[in-house]
Amino acid sequence: MQMAAKHNITVAIDPVLLKKARAFAARRGISVSALLAAQLRELVADDARYTAARRRATALFRTPLELGGKPLSREAAHDRRRLR
C-alpha cells in the first residue's frame, strides 16, 4: 500500500496547551502531529456526514407528504362559522 504525500504546517499554540497536548499524546503513544491529524480527519469526516444528511433532509422538503384526504377549498379553509 502506497502512503499519501504529507505536508508540514505551522500551528501557533499556547505553551500550556502544547505541554498538555504532548502529555496527552504521549499517554497514547503518538506524536502531537499524529494527534492533530487524527482530530482533523475526524472533524472533516463529521462535516462530510453532516453535509450529506442536510442534503438528504433538504430533498425530503421538496417532496410533499402524502397524508391522504382531499385538499380544502379556499372557502372551506376560511369558513369561520364552524368555529363559533
- Per-residue pLDDT reduced to its tens digit, 9-50: 999 999 999 999 999 999 999 999 999 999 999 999 999 999
Q: Alpha helix locations (H) across 1-84?
A: 15-27, 32-62, 74-77
Reduce the DSSP state of residue 82 to 3 states and report it.
helix
Per the structure, how many domains does the chain have? 1
DSSP 81: G
What is the rounded CA–CA span in Å between residue 30 and residue 13? 18
Q: Which residues form the domain of 44?
A: 31-63
pLDDT score of 8 more than 70: yes
| pLDDT at residue 2 in the model | 67
Tell me, yes or no, whether 56 lies in a domain.
Answer: yes
Average per-residue pLDDT for the chain: 90
pLDDT score of 51 more than 90: yes
Tell me, yes or no, whether 11 lies in a domain.
Answer: no
Tell me, yes or no, whether 48 lies in a domain.
Answer: yes
